Structure 1
Amino acid sequence: MALVSPAPLETAHQLDRMGTTHIETLVQEHRAYIHRLCLSILNDTDEAEDITQETFVAALLALNQFRGDAHIRTWLSAIAINLCRDTLRKRKTRQTLHTVLKNLHLLNPSPQPEDTYLQNETHAQLWHAVNALDEKHRLPVILHYAHNLPATEIAQILGLSEGTVYSRLHYARKQLLGGLKTRPVLGPKKPAGGLP
């Protein structure tokens, strides 16, 4: 006999009415996503695990404050991001996004060693440039490009207007393009003598 899991929870009000079993469902449904989100911001597995747990504790303690205007995942993401910001302020260091991308399995290995090297160098340069952005521009970039969130959800998570999210993404792209243009372009070396 197969076990049927409860339908996904959309609002905290549903959760509040349903009890402990559905609190466990909430954690099971969103834990992996919240952990990846925390890991991508903190770049530390242990801290990400701690903040993931703190996110669900904070959410359960503030359950009566959830208005139901957004999907519960958006609300949990906002809590997690705020806790991550606090952690970053305390430790006063920046993350290395190249490592985060490896942890998220976003780097696809190439069959040729030379291609792998070039791809890794290109990604390293890109994410080094992203890492150099200030927090208000870096977070929308991470949420949009590493987590594939739409601008509307990013706006809800960060408490911004959708237009502000688009503006920050646009500004970040301009900054990234400018930063990457000043770096040397990597490619296969040409043999001496100018012949291909």
Structure 2
Amino acid sequence: HDLVYEAPSPEERLLREEEVGRLLDAVTTLADADRELIGLRYGSGLDTSEVAQILGISEGGVRTRLWRVLGRLRGALAHE
């Protein structure tokens, strides 16, 4: 099987850029601590144990906070 890469159309690229822009706007509305959490986990690609160590909280605390923060982001994006 040959793998074929199909570049996104200009319309698909524009939609994706708009989605990323809305997400970044939503992230800017978060509290500083929540932005730091999102940045460590997804921006820096750290796992929950690494994030927990940096923030000085348990892994369960990281997972709980991420769940809540991601829920707020989903809600913010759904109401646009």
TM-score after normalising by structure 1: 0.36
Matched residue SS, 2:69: helix
- Residue 127 of structure 1: SS of its match in structure 2? helix
**Whole-angstrom CA distance in 1 between matches of 2:35 and 2:64:** 13
Code of the residue aligned with 1:126 in structure 2: it is L
Of the candidates 4, 10, 13, which is equivalent to residue 116 of structure 1?
13
Which of the pair has more CA radius of gyration? Answer: 1
Shift of 1:150: 0.6
Question: RMSD of the TM alignment (CA)?
Answer: 1.2
SS at match of 1:160: coil
1:137 and 2:26 matched: no
Structure with more relative contact order (C-alpha pairs < 8 Å, separation 6 or more): 2
- Given the alignment of the two structures, is residue 160 of structure 1 paired with residue 62 of structure 2, yes or no? no
Q: Hey, what's the Cα distance between the residues in 2 that align with 1:142 and 1:130?
A: 10
**Which ranges in structure 1 are unaligned for 5 or more consecutive residues?**
1-109, 184-196
The count of residues paired between Structure 1 and Structure 2 equals 74
1:151 to 32, 37, 48: 48
Shift of 1:160: 1.5
How far 1:111 sits from its partner (Å)? 3.5
Q: Which residue pairs with 1:171 in the alignment?
A: 68
Equivalents in 1 of 2:20, 2:30: separation in Å? 16
Please give the alpha-carbon distance, in whole angstroms, between the structure 2 residues aligned to 1:138 and 1:167.
Answer: 15
Runs of 4+ in 1 over 2 A off after TM superposition: none
Aligned-residue offset at 1:144:
1.1
Q: CA deviation at 1:170?
A: 0.7
Letter in 2 for 1:144: R
Q: Secondary structure at the match of 1:149?
A: coil
The 2-side partners of 1:144 and 1:117 are apart by 26
Q: Does 1:127 align with 2:24?
A: yes
Which stretches in structure 2 are left out of the alignment for 5+ residues?
A: 1-6
- Identity value in percent: 38
Structure 1 distance, partners of 2:51, 2:45, is 10
Partner amino acid for 1:121?
E
2 CA distance for matches of 1:128 and 1:146? 15
- Counterpart residue type for residue 36 of structure 2: L
